[in-house]
Amino acid sequence: MKIFYQDNDIIVCEKEYGVSSQKSDGANMLDMIREVTGTEAFPVHRLDITTRGIMVYALNQKSAGELSKQIQAGTFKKSYLAIVHGECEDAGEMVDLLYHDRLKNKSFVVSTKRQGSKEARLEYTTLQRAKIEGEELSLVHIRLHTGRTHQIRVQFSSRAHSLYGDGKYGAHDNAKIALYSHSIELLHPKTKKSMYFDALPSGDIWDKFASIPKPL
């Protein structure tokens, strides 16, 4: 487990593909952090088990409460990198109503508000386009403004831009999903100092691109 930062209040680390971001019977971040730090970790946000990338965990309940307040206020900011099918526009915004079916563990774009539906909003910028093994693919940088279940996956899929490898949401190449938690921006829960962390993915389909530019 790669660690970007650690003190008595928080730890910022990289979650790998196939590892749960919350407590589970299998490999999970809470157990891994406890092995490294010897202390209990408190999750304040989550990543799907199929998503890699940067996460921050509180190392005490007070810090967890402070970070949760930032998330609710929108000052805890996250961005992602994704590889999607097709040629995306240079930039855009996606705003939808999403409904999550818990039995199917799948989200859907709905046209009218219904019980359980929530607004989902993101912005994206296309960083690169490439033709790989006959497939037109786009590398996009995504800024999330809401954190709905499978939000990025379903919003891009609904516009015929399924994420590479995401067979659940329409991709024909059912492989490791090309979605990476690229950056986190927050205020330290104790010192209130502004903090920013980022990282770039590698391996699998990511290495098919000549280079992955770091978003501004």
**Given the residues 9, 31, 48, 198, the one annotated as active site:** 48
The token pair at 143 is: 């800024």
Q: How far apart are CA 142 and CA 144, in angstroms?
A: 6
Cβ burial of 133 (10 Å; 0-12, 13-18, 19+) is exposed
Please count the helices (runs of H) and the strands (runs of E) in the chain: 3, 11
The token pair at 193 is: 């100092």
Q: Return all residues near 133 (Cβ < 8 A) that are at least 6 apart.
A: none
**Please, where are the H alpha helices in the chain?**
29-37, 61-73, 151-157
Has 48 been annotated as catalytic?
Answer: yes
* Cβ(60)–Cβ(53) below 8 Å: no
Query: What amino acid positions are annotated as catalytic residues?
Result: 48
